[in-house]
């Protein structure tokens, strides 16, 4: 019975998407109304077919080498309130406790999100770990600082709840690529900021020899 319900939801979602396509293609006021209604119907139906499994996190790993000591890199990364300087999607980080912070971010489409996190571990010049404390938000991560001949390799690991359901895999892939792209750019901005004191050029992840990407499941 459950598979029949899921099939019905997918058919309904496809119907909504079709209405949205023809509505926007037709144009005009009537077409726009049909398009908006179809988009909303498809989105709500797809949301009902996917769930977040917090006990099966997916890890996204990225790293960048910076021309600075591990002590300097650790000190700069420890100032969470300064994250909006190099994290483009983060608009505000506010300290709310000894080890607690409130985050505000915006997606590329302008969607605002807020959550709280706490530091779970911290070792000067070696690593920092954190996790979300907001109900329903499954996020955690670590950053490691490894000395190199030229400076420090900064390794970042982000974890979030795994999507499940018939469309979970597809949605997860799209979302993960978006997160990876933003993280690559954020790390390149961090590199510019720690090495020059300012962000002078737009990041170009595809042309950086210092950036190394690895994906995996924790």
Residue 138 pLDDT level (bands cut at 50, 70, 90):
confident
Checking if the pLDDT of 17 tops 70, the result is: no
Residue 66 pLDDT level (bands cut at 50, 70, 90):
very high
Backbone angles phi, psi at 6, to 5 degrees: -65, -45
> What's residue 145's pLDDT?
98
pLDDT tens for each residue of 42-58: 444 444 444 444 445 67
Residue 216 pLDDT level (bands cut at 50, 70, 90):
very low
Q: Please name the residue that has the structure tokens 């790390």.
A: 187
- 24-28, 115-119, 168-172: least confident range: 168-172
Q: Is the dihedral of CA 88, 92, 95, 96 positive or negative?
A: negative
Closest CA to 64 of 204, 216, 200, 217: 204
Checking if the pLDDT of 22 tops 60, the result is: no
Domain boundaries, the chain: 2-48, 51-216
The DSSP element (H or E) to which 89 belongs, if any, is: none
> What's residue 113's pLDDT?
85
Residue 175 pLDDT level (bands cut at 50, 70, 90):
low
Average pLDDT of the residues of the chain: 73
Whole-model pTM: value is: 0.63
Please state, as a whole number, how many other Cβ atoms lie within 10 Å of the Cβ of residue 70: 21
Tell me how far apart the alpha carbons of residues 131 and 141 are, in angstroms, rounded to a whole number: 6
Closest CA to 11 of 49, 51, 60: 49
Region 51-216: CATH code:
3.30.530.20
> What's residue 63's pLDDT?
95
Q: Are strands 90-95 and 211-216 parallel, antiparallel or unpaired?
A: unpaired
> Of 111 and 213, which is predicted with more confidence?
111
Q: Please name the residue that has the structure tokens 């591990």.
A: 70
């Amino acid at each position: 019975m459950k598979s029949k319900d899921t099939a019905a939801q997918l058919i309904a979602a496809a119907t909504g998407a079709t209405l949205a396509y023809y509505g926007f293609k037709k144009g005009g006021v009537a077409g726009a109304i049909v398009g908006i209604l179809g988009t909303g119907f498809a989105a709500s139906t797809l949301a009902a077919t996917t769930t977040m499994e917090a006990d099966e996190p997916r890890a996204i790993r990225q790293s960048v080498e910076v021309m600075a000591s591990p002590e300097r890199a650790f000190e700069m990364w420890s100032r969470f309130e300064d994250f909006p300087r190099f994290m483009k999607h983060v608009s505000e980080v506010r300290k709310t406790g000894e080890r607690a912070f409130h985050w505000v971010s915006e997606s590329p489409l302008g969607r605002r999100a807020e959550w709280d996190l706490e530091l779970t571990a911290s070792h000067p010049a070696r690593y920092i770990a954190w996790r979300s404390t907001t109900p329903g938000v499954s996020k955690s991560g670590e950053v490691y600082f490894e000395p190199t001949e030229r400076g420090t390799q900064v390794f970042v690991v982000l974890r979030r709840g795994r999507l499940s359901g018939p469309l979970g895999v597809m949605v997860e892939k799209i979302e993960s690529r978006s997160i990876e792209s933003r993280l690559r750019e954020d790390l390149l901005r961090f590199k510019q900021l720690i090495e020059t004191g300012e962000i002078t050029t737009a990041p170009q992840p595809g042309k950086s020899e210092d950036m190394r990407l690895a994906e995996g499941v924790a």
